[in-house]
Amino acid sequence: MKSIRNTVAKNEIHKLIAGSTVALSQAELQAATKGLCDRVTIYRILDRLTQEGLIHKVLNVDGVMKYAGCADTCKAQHKHDHIHFSCQKCKSLTCLAGVEASYRLPAAYTVMEANFTLSGICPNCT
C-alpha cells in the first residue's frame, strides 16, 4: 500500500474519532472541525483511515454511515464482528466490545464479514 502522508485535517479527524465514545458521521466530523476541510476531503480522509486500519465504518439503522476508532486488538486482524448499538432517541451509535453475537447458517454459507447493529434506547437516554 502506498504511504499516505499525514495532514493537519487527517490528524484532527483521527483524533476526534479516536476520542469519541460513539461513532461519528461525516456531517458530525465536518461540524467538529469547524471548516478545517470540505466534505469531499473528509470522505477521502475517512477512506484513508479505514484502509490504514485505524477506524471502521458501520451503517446506522437510519441509513447514515458512521465511523469509529479501532481497538488495539483490531490491528493484528482487521475485522469488526462486534455488536453496535443504535439509540433510537439520541441517534448515537456505540461499539459494544466484549458482547458476543451468535447465529447459525446453513452449511453451504461462508461468512466473510458480519455487521451487527441492535436498536433501542441507550443508558444515557433511559
pLDDT tens for 28-71 read 999 999 989 999 999 999 999 998 889 988 888 888 999 999 86
Q: Return the higher-pLDDT residue of 1 and 16.
A: 16
- Tell me the backbone φ, ψ of residue 120, rounded to 5 degrees: 175, -145
CATH of 8-120, one of 3.30.300.30, 1.10.10.10, 3.20.20.370, 1.20.1260.10: 1.10.10.10
Q: For residue 52, what are the contacts with CB-CB under 8 A and spacing of at least 6? A: 4
pTM for the model: 0.77
DSSP-assigned beta bridge partners for residue 3: none
Q: At which residue does the C-alpha cell 455487521 appear?
A: 115
Beta carbons of 84 and 58 less than 8 angstroms apart: yes
Where do the structural domains in the chain lie, given as residue ranges?
8-120
